[in-house]
Amino acid sequence: MSIRIVSFGYGHAPAPTADLVFDLRALLRNPFRDPELKHRTGLDQEVYDHVMGTRGAARLAAGAVATALALAEDTGAEVTVAWGCTGGRHRSVGLARASYELLRAAGEEATIEHRDVDLGLLPSGVHNRESGRA
């Protein structure tokens, strides 16, 4: 039984093919709006702490992991969980990282991929789910 975790940015390309896709654009505080965090990523501890300090973030990660594990157990298939935010650098990376760490702490097999973490920042105007682009 294996779980694959992917982070991505809706502003760069459509969501990857996945069994569970979570859109974080309207759910979590956006580190992009903080000048101290904007140019960092969810791989940096300060950004990770900011994202995971958002009310509901830890519960969302735990719920996604529980659902993915149940699906993998019930179906015997590899399950892919995709976390998306606008640019794929902050919120999605943080939740992907949290999910991966929860799985590994439970002794489960897991892989993690950050599809867009190394791409450039998107312009400020596309950081809302409602704005056509992201």
pLDDT digits (tens, 9 = 90+) for 8-66: 999 999 999 999 999 999 888 888 888 898 899 999 999 999 999 999 999 999 999 99
> What is the model's pTM?
0.90
In one letter, which amino acid is 39?
A: H
pLDDT tens-place string over residues 85-94: 999 999 999 9
Cβ atoms 51, 31 nearer than 8 A: yes
> Using CA atoms, how far apart are residues 102 and 73, in angstroms rounded to an integer?
17
pLDDT of residue 134 exceeding 50 = no
Using pLDDT thresholds of 50, 70 and 90, give the confidence band for residue 123: confident
Sign of the Cα pseudo-torsion (71, 103, 16, 126, in order): positive
> Using CA atoms, how far apart are residues 59 and 44, in angstroms rounded to an integer?
21
